[in-house]
Amino acid sequence: MSSLDAASFPDDRDPTLPGEPDPYPWFHRLRRDDPVHFSPFANAWMLTRYADAEKYLRDRRFSRVAYLDSMRAKYGAEQPILKFQSRELSFLDGDEHSWLKDVAAKAFTPARISAIRPHIRAAVDASLDKLLPAGRFDVIADYAYPLPADVISAMLGIPREDWTMLREWVDGILLSRGIVRTAAMIETGDKSARAFADYLSRLISARRQYPSGDLMSAFIAAEEKGRKLSDDQLVSMIETLFAAGHGTTRSLIGLGILALLKNPDQLALLSAEPARITRAVEEMLRYDPPTQAPSPQVALEDVEIGGKTVRKGEAVSVLFGATNRDPARFADPDKFDLTREDLEHLAFSLGPHYCLGASLARAEAQIAIGVLVERTASIELAENNPVFQQAGRFRGPVGLKIEVSARRS
Ligand code: HEM
């Protein structure tokens, strides 16, 4: 039986329902019964209707800085993890946010993404060369987990032998930034943030002396409106790029493959029409978004949303799993349908905090999933009920064992 067997939406649980294999019936119920819902657990209003979320995400009367201030008041201002966060894009507003985003955007120009595609393809092929002959592997641990770290490290110029260590620190940092944070989570986050910052500071000073063609050198040299990044900002930027794209992209690959395996007709369609992969990845993002909620923001004045008044000082977030399956926005929303035309999902959010790495994440998922399907004659789930991540607002299977037979060329 599901742990969700109460009649109403559980007030004593993280509203993103981590660990739940299928939270969607609950999101439907919440959208129907209480679409602008106050979650005591998150101490925030959670929006579930697409139209409400679309308006809210573009509304400048909400602030990330004010939200981080409320976290400082709750957990203490001196924590390394909160100091780290205060320099991140996700926790800045207004002009300071736009300035930093303009600097960061230089990493994700269409030319840079096109240039990295052959590297992604080579990494995926090398991985499948090893995995396919065995006939059975874990999509998460063996295939999806290494890819985003390999790709962002190559872009940034982080030595290959170091990225396993960085990935572990990033996991520690991510664990500590759910809507709800326990003392143990914060301690792990603090330790990881310190280790990450020490490592990067050394690498940055080496790069200052000997610049190369990588992104780290580009960020060091970057100047926007007469201002350069400080060393602290550089560390936070690199940590952000590593952290933001790591678990999310891994989960997109895992959730996407899981959706295909649970819908064999759609897998057959993709196998017969490989060019459909671009749209297929958009449908995967809509159907089961890896980020189930954006960081909350605090209202700077009283704001009316969907018939409720959010008071000045109260926090608001969105349940993307609910908005992406809103029947008022998407026809037959629970159907995983690779022929769907309307694909304007919110998986990468909207407005000023729209995902910076969306084009990179798309490229990685299109290549990882597309090439797996192209190179296999059959793929099946080796275990029926994958376990989902138990904490935080990021959703994805912890492991996904599959059986495969390679396609003969
Ligand atoms: C499937 C993969 C991904 C998903 C689903 C995803 C989703 C999101 C979402 C929903 C946000 C908004 C969060 C918020 O408002 O609090 C966001 C922001 C962001 N993402 Fe992604 N992301 C993915 C991959 C990446 C990658 C690969 C990178 C970079 C390497 C990246 C970098 C960022 C950054 C820097 C922000 C903050 C933007 C800002 O606040 O202005 N993401 N992402």
DSSP character at residue 388: B
Other CB atoms within a 10 A radius of the CB of residue 371 amount to 18
Task: Say if ligand 1 is within 6 A of residue 290 CB.
Answer: yes
SS3 content of the chain, % helix, strand, coil (to 5): 55, 10, 35
- Best of 355, 360, 366, 393 to mutate for ligand 1, by most ligand atoms within 8 A of CB? 355
CATH superfamily of 76-290+350-406: Cytochrome P450 (1.10.630.10)
Task: Say if ligand 1 is within 6 A of residue 292 CB.
Answer: no
Side-chain half-sphere exposure of 346, counting CA atoms within 13 A: 31
Give the pLDDT score at 87. Answer: 84
Give the pLDDT score at 251. Answer: 96
Task: Say if ligand 1 is within 6 A of residue 376 CB.
Answer: no
Protein residue with its CA nearest to atom 21 in ligand 1: 355
DSSP-derived pairing of the beta strands 227-228 and 297-299: unpaired
Task: Say if ligand 1 is within 6 A of residue 347 CB.
Answer: yes
Low pLDDT (below 50) residues in the chain: 1
Task: Say if ligand 1 is within 6 A of residue 112 CB.
Answer: no
Question: Which numbered atom of ligand 1 lies nearest the CA of 362?
Answer: 1
CA gap 40, 282 in Å, rounded: 32
H or E element at residue 254: helix 231-262
Give the pLDDT score at 107. Answer: 83
Task: Say if ligand 1 is within 6 A of residue 360 CB.
Answer: yes
Length of the chain: 409
Sign of the C-alpha dihedral computed for residues 126, 131, 132 and 134 taken in this order: positive
Q: How many whole angstroms from 134 Cα to the centroid of ligand 1?
A: 34
What lies within 8 Å, CB to CB, of 182 at 6+ separation is none
